[in-house]
Amino acid sequence: MTEIRDVEAVVFDVLGTLVDEPSGLRGAIREAVPASDDASVDELLTLWQQHVELEQQRIAQGHRAYANTEIIDGEAAQRVADRAGLTDASAVARLATAGQRLLPWSDSVAGVERLARRFPVLGLSNASRTALLRLNAHAGLRWHQALSSEAVLAYKPAQEVYRLAVDTAGCPPGNVLMVAAHAWDLRGAQALGMRTAHVRRPVGDPPKHSDAFDGQFNGLDELVTALTPR
């Protein structure tokens, strides 16, 4: 088992790493458009995800002023509603907040709690401040501190987002471990000098052969063991 030493603080990505975002969005779409079959729901989910990815890229490229995830999710929900022919305003409004009601993976709550007994543990998410607060409460995630990229008006993998976590941790980047299911997220953290650990999830972005992360784990139990060896 890989051991990761000299870590003073642990930073977790949230969406996809600790909560199952695609399943939560898929369930919310099915609730809003109950007549849709599986193929239609998947098509609407792809429409949502593509809008969010495109708008965050436009912001990163300077083609759009910063807008938080509540705004972008609201736009995505309206696109889904337009495509599905959904005209109930209350249903569209509820769909827009689907990202605040995501369920944790089976090992997330206990894994974060176990690490928090040993290290300062932070969440670092692209979710807005309000969305992150409500998501943490719904999923039962207990942080020492949860940080939203909204604080620096940017989205990961922008360097200022990771700098926010390092500055909050109050120790050198080389003593801060970034944990994520997305290799692109870890590359962003690595570029700032942070330590990195990939946790495999069904919806994650797997590492490439060229990636050299400090550890790769099948779940949080393995990660906890690597960080707290006997």
pLDDT at 188: 98
226 has pLDDT over 90: yes
For residues 114-136, give the mean pLDDT. 97
In this predicted model, which residue has the larger pLDDT, 69 or 204?
A: 69
Tens of pLDDT, residue by residue over 97-118, are: 999 999 999 999 999 999 999 9
For residues 178-206, give the mean pLDDT. 96
Where are the domain boundaries for CATH 3.40.50.1000 in the chain?
Answer: 9-20+102-227
Domain 9-20+102-227, CATH: 3.40.50.1000
Where are the domain boundaries for CATH 1.10.150 in the chain?
Answer: 21-100
Could you tell me the end-to-end alpha-carbon distance of the chain, in angstroms, rounded to an integer?
A: 12
pLDDT at 5: 87
Q: 230: pLDDT confidence band, cut at 50, 70 and 90?
A: low
* DSSP character string of 59-74: HHTTSS----HHHHHH
Please tell me the distance from the alpha carbon of residue 31 to that of residue 94, in angstroms, as a whole number: 10
Q: Which residues contact 120 (CB under 8 A, 6 or more apart)?
A: 8, 9, 10, 144, 145, 169
Please state which architecture CATH assigns to domain 21-100: Orthogonal Bundle (1.10)
pTM, whole model, 2 decimals?
0.95
pLDDT at 47: 98
Residue 206 in tokens: 């797997």
Q: 185: pLDDT confidence band, cut at 50, 70 and 90?
A: very high
In this predicted model, which residue has the larger pLDDT, 1 or 15?
A: 15
Tens of pLDDT, residue by residue over 20-70, are: 999 999 999 999 999 889 999 999 999 999 999 999 999 999 999 999 999
The mean of the pLDDT values for the chain is: 96
Helix ranges (H only) for 61-203 are 69-84, 89-96, 108-116, 129-139, 159-169, 183-191
